[in-house]
Structure 1
Amino acid sequence: MNVYLFTQQIDTLQKRLTKLYQNTNTSLQQPDLLLPTVIKELGVSSEKLQIATEELLQQNDELTTLRDHLEAEHQRYRELFNFMPDAYLVTDGQGKILETNRAAATLLGVEQSSLPGKLLVTVIPIEKRPAFRSQLNRLQQCDGVQKCTICLQQRQSGSLEAAVTVAPVRDVSGMLVALRWILRDITAIKRSELLLSTPEYDPCPDHPQHFYFKGDLIPLQPEKLWLVRHGLVKVSTINERGEEVLLGLLGPTMAFGSNLTDLPTYQAIALTPQVELASISCSEITASPKLATAVLPQISQRLRQTEALLAISGRRQAKDRLYHLLLFLKQQFGQPLAQGTRLSIRLTHQDLADACCTTRVTITRLLGKLQQQGYITFDTQNHMIFLCTDEGMRG
């Protein structure tokens, strides 16, 4: 029952009482007949009023429960709003701040209670305000979600760049009533992008240098990453038959370390007369975006080389594995000469056999055949020279 219906019932009751009163004045000559009628009418009306009252009380209880539920929901969403990890603002169409959450206050370095009522433009650096006002004018004309980048002025820590997502709120007539802003600090991302766009940074001169000689086993430590500065390093593992399996031939700028593999057996050996390495701690890489940016391409290069060697070892015939290995070495370590391409490194027949997953005898036979056919030769320092095109050597 609603209030309107209850009011109608009260009016009906009043009209009936008025009618009874009028009948009493006109029927005084028969009081014994009138009294039962009056009592009956009053009883019926009283019962209807009691039912209506009970219905109103029940509805009032339901409304109270609904109000409590809505208040609890409002409080829950208020807490969710306040504890959102991203900075969240609500402004009117002119950019006056209506609501903020804690993350927004933290981002701007001010008390949360001080933000409502202020214009958002006041947290923009002075030189950036004309551009921000132009952005705000464009946002007022848009209907959908918009994204842009703005510069914000922190009270104590200087300025920062923020990625902004803005959603307009309009009433039923289409009038703009509010703007909802999500702000994300992208200063660190911009700095990383800047590092990537600057000339390459060589971390080797800034870190301890270590020297090894041909055949030396290079110690591997979990907390250290090695960068090759000069020379060549061979990294390998041992299979279940006790045979060495080549994992990489690492030249200048390439990275290796035990923290880059999950293999239980992993070793690095100096392959040239002298190898110069720089050691970098993993914690330092984690703490320095500049250093991490410099090291990442070296690790990616190493990954690509490992994939290439894996593809070579998967070929069925030994001569195909040798052909693709020589092609790989030519691309990685070749030096153009008038007569062909010279490998800047020297590998033994056993090194080539380990890389090709075959025997040293087989490699010696295949290389001898290529040399007889005039596809390869060796200089006085025993460096291999390719005398023909890649396809010619394959034939």
Structure 2
Amino acid sequence: MPQTTIALAHSIDFARWRAATRDLVTRRVPPDDIAWHITPGDAPAAAAPSPADQPFRIPRETMQLAADVVQSMLPDRFTLAYGLIYAHVTGTDIAPSDLARMEDAAKTVRAETVHLRHDLFTLMQRSGANDTWHGTLDATTYAPESNARFMTFQLSLAPWRLSLPGRRMEWTGRELLHGQDDAVAAPLAFNSLPPPAMPLVTDLDIPRITALPAVALAAKTCRICPMARRATQTVFGEGRSDARMMFVGEQPGDREDIAGRPFVGPAGQLFDRALLEAGIERDDTYVTNTVKHFKFRPRGTRRIHEKAGPEEIAACAPWLAAERRIIRPHVLVMLGATAASALLGRHVTIGRERSRAITLEDGTTGVVTVHPSFLLRVPDEDARTREYARFVADLRLAADLRSAPPP
């Protein structure tokens, strides 16, 4: 008979299940000794393991299988998922029949995830005074709940409602609501849900996202390339969504990676100073990078910048394209050869391209100049003064061009 009862706040409360699992597995509590109950409302959080307890790590594939099982509608899904983690940590065996049930459940969850993502714009229709999306899905799992964040980003943060068998889910534009057909919908925290069966950005149709905040939030979950998995966080662009001037650099540096903001390190401080001398208010612009994660190699306690390669540039290209498409700047300033090559689609030599107006394929006026970090590397003080003055002159040219008629 179970000796431990764990209360979960809702039928897919992965956050409390995971916290309780870490505590219970650390104490080696067998699966048969635990009863998992759904207690809507303010269920108590599980106790955190003691610092003295032996920590353990779970392979990503194993934890994802557990998350997929929790998304199923198996009545004992929380017990099965716990048993999977318990067996991994303790080195015990899982009954073949249980493992087969989990794998079948995960297969169904993945299939429904693919269906929802691929057919989202067929399932959902837009109507009403506030352009609310609404649809119906005959789901047999909780995959729709786990993909609520995907839907919210893909639908550009617009309100949406989805009717499901016996339940409904709604994004109001501010919060996610969830409830049974015969009950009042209650707030559902995104971070309480299990991760979807596929990474959030997989199948995300970025060109169809029309809201810059939705693109930024989606980009923060991106782990497409190895560089993204090593960096502290995604460093997305910032500034006005209707900016007439857009600045694009190479990639965030160490300071930016920690702060989560572009151009805040030494090069960024020099950039801000040059903007003021050129008569440009940074708050009136949009500033971003070609690559959204810091690429580095460790050297002792330091992290040394490494130049972004073609693979990283290609992986981040959809995010940069979305920023440019949504903002539609009148002037696009390319800071350095990496940004210029990526945006012009060809190899660029700064000396040949800088300090002149370039008409881009969409009619935007482009200006190529050096990256401010270049100025920090000029060893001779007189040369550094000359190069800085030339950089400010390039920014003044861009400032003059922003007054031209929009494309």
TM-score (norm 1): 0.22
Q: Which one scores higher on RCO, CA 8 angstroms, separation ≥ 6? A: 2
For the pair shown, which has the larger CA radius of gyration, 1 or 2? 1
More helix by share: 1
Higher strand share: 1
> Could you state the TM-score of these two structures normalised by the residue count of structure 2?
0.21
